[in-house]
Structure 1
């Protein structure tokens, strides 16, 4: 007995048309990336930050008051618009004897504690400091143009905790901004300068 579906031209045509559509789609999926072509969603991705620009984060550690003063632990880092870590610019902390105090940098530590060995350097005396972000992520990939949070977090043994966190928009236009350090006893000022590289 002959199978009706196998001998029916309508069924065979439907099967062949469907197989042809699937093979064309599969071929396109394999070929487009090789030709440097991307899907519409990937093509709509925002442009990277210009390699000719940099972001300077300038901060001033206040002079101590009182007789007992331990230099503060300070983390300076960049987050994306959703609050995810993008780049740690610096971590000033003692990582040998007093590593337990690192967790006092609550926000940074909860997201980026795995970077301690690669980004930490000694604590600093009161004074003015400048850190520069080259527009790349912790994995050295170019970051996209858009909104970012500049974060300066500080904590001190037997002292206060502070977090300066403010949104800025980075693109192709330079900007200067003073961030609100509020009543932070250890940070007297924080400013940012998005500028052309020297």
Structure 2
């Protein structure tokens, strides 16, 4: 009679179907002004202590020679104070050109840059817009991470931002 020793080795890998998705929609409203400039926009996630957990997007004038567009990033005051001054630009997957008026979407997955491995907790999605010869606006959407049900959240800006929605899909 033979005796067999059976060894099972379990390798734990992230399961793609279980990755949580963040779908963020940012509306930039058309403005009827004499001198229109596309806004600089930053989107990030802060923890309960207002510490930046992830920079999601920074839209600025990336076409200017010698990285000249970065000098106006400090006009995104909250983002600049919390994270921007210590973030070398451009950041792959985060930095991008300014956007025209209209609806713009970011689709992010947990475990992937720029979202990374966000630990469970209470957070806020923060979206800030600033425009040359224009105004500045900051919107905040609180959310829990991870979530059980599909959770759509939204807030509407007054001037520089329109409707901002956050759809968390477990």
- State the TM bucket, normalised to the shorter chain: 0.7 to 0.9
Once the two structures are superposed, residues 32-72 of structure 1 have per-residue CA deviations (whole angstroms, 9 ceiling, x without a partner) of xxxxxxxxxxxxxxxxxx95211111111001212210100
Aligned Cα root-mean-square deviation (Å): 2.1
Instruction: Report if aligned partners of 2:44, 2:127 keep a CA contact under 8 Å in 1.
Output: yes
Residue in 1 that maps onto 2:82: 111
Residue in 1 that maps onto 2:138: 163
Instruction: Report if aligned partners of 2:125, 2:141 keep a CA contact under 8 Å in 1.
Output: yes
Matches within 5 A, 1:91-102: 91-95=58-62, 96-102=67-73
Once the two structures are superposed, residues 22-41 of structure 1 have per-residue CA deviations (whole angstroms, 9 ceiling, x without a partner) of xxxxxxxxxxxxxxxxxxxx
| Greater fraction of residues in helix | 1
Instruction: Report if aligned partners of 1:149, 1:167 keep a CA contact under 8 Å in 2.
Output: yes
- Distance in 1 (CA, whole Å) between partners of 2:112 and 2:80 is 17
Residue in 1 that maps onto 2:32: 65
The change in CA–CA distance for 1:141 and 1:191 in structure 2 (over 3 A counts) is: closer
Give the SS at the match of 2:125.
Answer: strand
Residue in 2 that maps onto 1:12: none
Length-normalised TM-score, structure 2:
0.76
The change in CA–CA distance for 1:123 and 1:141 in structure 2 (over 3 A counts) is: closer
Residue in 2 that maps onto 1:177: 153
Task: Note if 1:83 corresponds to 2:50.
Answer: yes
| Greater fraction of residues in strand | 2
How far apart are 1:138 and its partner, in Å? 6.5
* Structure 1 unaligned regions, length at least 5: 1-49
Bigger relative CO (Cα 8 Å, ≥ 6 apart): 2
- Distance in 2 (CA, whole Å) between partners of 1:134 and 1:52 is 6
* Structure 2 unaligned regions, length at least 5: 1-16
Query: Whose Rg is larger?
Result: 1
